Amino acid sequence: MRFVGIDLAWGDRNTSAVVVLEPRDASYETLQTLEWHDALGSNEEIVRFVGSIDKGAGLLIGVDAPLIVPNIHGERPCETQLRRCFGRYEAGPLPVNQRICGGRLRGEGLLHLLRTTLGTTPEYRFPPLEPTVRRCLEVFPRSAQCALFHLKRSLKYKAKSGRSLQSRLAEYARYATLLESLETARPSLLPPSWLSEVPKRYGRELKRYEDRLDALLCAYVVATYWHYGEGEHCCVVGDSRHGYILTPVTPELAICLRKGAAQA
DNA sequence: TGACGACCCTCTACGTTCAT
DNA sequence: ATGAACGTAGAGGGTCGTCA
């Protein structure tokens, strides 16, 4: 079984990062980093890289990018629902529609390529601990951070006007420390060696480090989902037809999301 | 109740810095 | 002097929280 996290750039100009996790032993309780790449270009390049670590058995991929976007205008129902519960944590998702993306949605292209090349489908329903499952699911790191690390507000490490480099570097260090703390979680994540090496200045290196952190978190999220399935640890918001987002949850967030689903 | 700011992420355009 | 690389500002859609 292998778990892949992809931080997918929306456009072609920026690079994407991929982190691959594998269970350390047959107990599946501890995950270790098998492989990573933080400067991948096209979808073809990404699929080639994922294909290079695929053993043909179980493969679960988590992508930080919209994969199913049928709506022309407005936002997807899963985004509305997610914002209602995560908005107070300043972790609401970006509304996505075909108009914003100019009708050219990179995630859909990647999903298609992964399906035809590696046989991973976007169907999110499968029994936990199924060792031969091959799926590709949309995940959202910002909500995952709030739920996994019990944050009151999302981490502010993204470049934004008025945000100093110093404050961003502090948030990166915090993010890295929080990811390291997953060593004592279930499943346990052995921190990769690069995790504590936060770049000290602006530039490509910092951007790629950021992508790697998000890709690592995406991989961990799908691994958690594989372990527990949908329930008190993880929720799938939305559906395969209108688009969905997989996110870890706290018990309070699970109640909020269930309430939202009942109203929808 | 309405207005406003903040937030999510990426892109484009433009200005600045650095190497050749 | 020139071009490449990089940083910054603002736009885009929709919702939530705060304040008047």
The residue whose CA lies nearest the C1' of nucleotide C6 is A203
CA-to-CA distance for A207 and A217, rounded, in angstroms?
16
Q: What's the sign of the alpha-carbon dihedral A111, A115, A117, A118?
A: positive
Closest nt to A73 (CA→C1')? C13
pLDDT of residue A24: 94
Mean pLDDT of A188-194: 92
Mean pLDDT of A59-76: 80
Protein contacts on strand B: list nucleotides below 7 Å from a Cβ.
Answer: 6-12
Please indicate whether residue A136 or residue A7 has the higher confidence score (pLDDT): A136
Could you read off the pLDDT of A29-54 as tens digits, one per residue? 999 999 988 877 778 888 989 999 99
Residue ranges near strand B (C-beta within 7 Å): A 7-14, 64-65, 90-95, 141-142, 154, 156, 158-160
Q: Decide: A141 and A65 in contact? Cβ < 8 Å.
A: no
Confirm whether any atom of chain C, the nucleic acid strand, is less than 7 Å from CB of A11: no
Percent of chain A exceeding pLDDT 70 equals 82
Query: Has residue A11 got a pLDDT over 70?
Result: no
pLDDT of residue A170: 73
| Residue A214 tokens, joined | 């998000």
Query: Has residue A61 got a pLDDT over 80?
Result: yes
| DSSP count for chain A of H helices, then E strands | 7, 8
CA-to-CA distance for A216 and A191, rounded, in angstroms?
10
Q: Which residue range forms the structural domain that includes residue A43?
A: 2-263
Q: With cut-offs at 50, 70 and 90, classify the pLDDT of residue A103.
A: low
Please indicate whether residue A239 or residue A168 has the higher confidence score (pLDDT): A239
pLDDT of residue A22: 96
Confirm whether any atom of chain C, the nucleic acid strand, is less than 7 Å from CB of A202: yes
A87: CB partners within 8 A, 6+ apart: none
Q: Containing H/E element for A180?
A: helix A165-180
Closest nt to A106 (CA→C1')? B10
Please indicate whether residue A176 or residue A93 has the higher confidence score (pLDDT): A176
Distance A161 CA to B18 C1' (A): 23
Distance A42 CA to C3 C1' (A): 26
Nearest to A83 by CA among A74, A92, A96: A92
CA-to-CA distance for A148 and A155, rounded, in angstroms?
12
Confirm whether any atom of chain C, the nucleic acid strand, is less than 7 Å from CB of A162: yes
Query: Has residue A151 got a pLDDT over 80?
Result: no
Closest nt to A71 (CA→C1')? C13
Distance A117 CA to C19 C1' (A): 54
The residue whose CA lies nearest the C1' of nucleotide B8 is A94
- Residue A18 β-bridge partners: A6, A37
Q: With cut-offs at 50, 70 and 90, classify the pLDDT of residue A20.
A: very high
The residue whose CA lies nearest the C1' of nucleotide B11 is A11
Using CA atoms, how far residue A185 sits from A87, A122, A179, A212, A255, in Å, is 25, 27, 10, 20, 22
The number of domains in chain A is 1
Query: Has residue A13 got a pLDDT over 70?
Result: no
Mean pLDDT of A224-228: 94
Closest nt to A158 (CA→C1')? B9
Please indicate whether residue A70 or residue A249 has the higher confidence score (pLDDT): A249
Q: Decide: A214 and A37 in contact? Cβ < 8 Å.
A: no
Could you read off the pLDDT of A110-126 as tens digits, one per residue? 888 899 999 999 999 99
| Residue A28 tokens, joined | 């599946």
Percent of chain A exceeding pLDDT 90 equals 28
Strands A59-63 and A234-239: unpaired
Q: Containing H/E element for A245?
A: strand A243-248
